[in-house]
Structure 1
Amino acid sequence: MLAAPAAMVIAAGADVHREAEPVAAPAPVPPPLPDAPDYKLEVVASGPAAGPADLKVAPGQMASVSNWRVADRAVRQALPVGVASERGLQVKTILVARSVSAVFPEIRQIGGVRADALRWHPDGLAVDVMIPNPSSAEGIALGNQIVAYVIKNAERFGMQDAIWRGVYYTPNGPRGSGNGHFDHVHITTTGGGYPTGSETYFR
């Protein structure tokens, strides 16, 4: 069987000739894209309860992501356990202790739950950040920096108050004096409840 000439198509049963449509030239190949940065992303719940997303759906269904957002893990780093014993601490107090440990590596001791006449330490609502050489210029400066850091992050930490070198601090600044605490920074939080063990604390 012979093929028809490329320039024409002969209709079966008719004596009509027409020219074939020109073949379009192949589209130019775009240049390769530059390598994208290697971002490490995770999907976390939006709103106050953040954690890894569970996007399991039934076969044939699509997952709705309206209540999820993508978090850049390169920016939002998980905090490792710090120098404080976390036994009996509430979640906001753990967040403060881990954050202080990460930001101020010169801190070697943070006290947490202990017996006390007031409920803050026994209930896991407070930590004591022990300052090395607390009466030295360096020690005083370090304590001041920790208080400033906690006040700056007061909302995230659920900060209720801090006490350092006789001064009582609230999220709005200093209030009153004569409160002791010359060798450590006392930090009280609103707690946030006791951990379940599934929490991830972010810097």
Structure 2
Amino acid sequence: MGRHSFAKMRRRPRLAVVAGVITAATLFVVGADSYPQVRDAVACCDVAAAPQPPPPAVNLMAAQPPAPSIPPVLPQGRAPETGLQVDTILAARAVSAEFPEILTIGGVRSDSLKWHPHGLAIDVMIPSARSAAGIDLGDKVLAYVMANAERFGLEHAIWRQTIYRPNGSKNVMSDRGSDTANHYDHVHIATAGGGYPQEGQVYLR
């Protein structure tokens, strides 16, 4: 083999090495130029999330059901309550509270019928009972009692010589000779009684 042939063979590896170095350098330079571009692309598109509003506050008091209202207690009215049964006391107190112009209510007394002696009836005395204002007041007391018949345990009511019952019936009574006996000056209210009150008995409106 001549020297020229050997020299050619020796030059080829150098060319390969040089080409390899140039390729690596080119990749390095290109790679070095590409990395900032990638970072910039990420940076330009990395948008911070918008701040979210805090959740609405929960009103614990509003979420709770309202406390049940307690009806006010009825104070003692115009009627003396000794010997009266609970239904009768309730009727007497309620009428007193509803009609403050009523000044007198009779309770237990002697009678040939059971109602007053056993605490089952009261007599709501009507001021100026023969006047137009008195008749109107008596009518209103009667209407109030009839509207609350179930609540009072009403047996009957008597006003101006007529007896009224919770079922809606009414009957004119015979003449007994006087305004009081004929119930022209008071509304008579008779109840089922409900028994005698216990100590600390409470009556609600």
Q: TM-score, normalised by structure 2?
A: 0.65
1:194 partner letter: Y
Q: Percent identity?
A: 54
1:88 paired to 2:83 = yes
Aligned to 2:198: 196
Change (3 A) 1:81 1:143: same
Instruction: Pick one of 135, 150, 154 that aligns with 1:155.
Output: 150
After TM superposition, give the deviation of residue 198 of structure 1 in Å: 2.4
Change (3 A) 1:137 1:35: farther
Rg comparison, structure with higher value: 2
After TM superposition, give the deviation of residue 33 of structure 1 in Å: 3.8
* Cα shift readout 1:25-44 (whole Å, capped 9, x = no counterpart): 999363474987xx995xxx
After TM superposition, give the deviation of residue 119 of structure 1 in Å: 1.1
Aligned to 1:72: 69
Residues in 2 aligned to 1:170 and 1:29: alpha-carbon distance in whole angstroms: 63
Q: TM-score, normalised by structure 1?
A: 0.66
- Structure 2: which 5+ runs fail to align? 1-50, 175-181
Residues in 2 aligned to 1:94 and 1:123: alpha-carbon distance in whole angstroms: 12
Residues in 2 aligned to 1:34 and 1:142: alpha-carbon distance in whole angstroms: 50
Change (3 A) 1:35 1:147: same
Residues in 1 aligned to 2:89 and 2:152: alpha-carbon distance in whole angstroms: 9
1:183 paired to 2:185 = yes
CA RMSD between the two structures: 2.4
Aligned residues: 146
Instruction: Tell me if structure 2 keeps the 8 A contact 1:162–1:187.
Output: yes
2:105 partner letter: I
> If each structure's helix is expressed as a fraction of its own residues, which one has the higher value?
2
- Structure 1: which 5+ runs fail to align? 1-24, 42-70
Instruction: Pick one of 115, 126, 131 that aligns with 1:136.
Output: 131
Residues in 2 aligned to 1:124 and 1:113: alpha-carbon distance in whole angstroms: 6
Instruction: Pick one of 103, 107, 114 that aligns with 1:108.
Output: 103
SS at match of 1:176: strand
Residues in 1 aligned to 2:66 and 2:184: alpha-carbon distance in whole angstroms: 43
SS at match of 1:185: strand
Residues in 2 aligned to 1:185 and 1:121: alpha-carbon distance in whole angstroms: 13
Runs of 4+ in 1 over 3 A off after TM superposition: 29-36
Residues in 2 aligned to 1:84 and 1:111: alpha-carbon distance in whole angstroms: 6
Instruction: Pick one of 28, 38, 56 that aligns with 1:30.
Output: 56
Residues in 2 aligned to 1:115 and 1:162: alpha-carbon distance in whole angstroms: 19
After TM superposition, give the deviation of residue 174 of structure 1 in Å: 4.2
Aligned to 1:63: none
Residues in 1 aligned to 2:147 and 2:104: alpha-carbon distance in whole angstroms: 22
2:69 partner letter: D
Residues in 2 aligned to 1:120 and 1:141: alpha-carbon distance in whole angstroms: 26
Instruction: Tell me if structure 2 keeps the 8 A contact 1:167–1:176.
Output: yes
1:135 partner letter: R
Structure with the bigger RCO (C-alpha within 8 Å, sep 6+) is 2
Instruction: Tell me if structure 2 keeps the 8 A contact 1:167–1:174.
Output: no
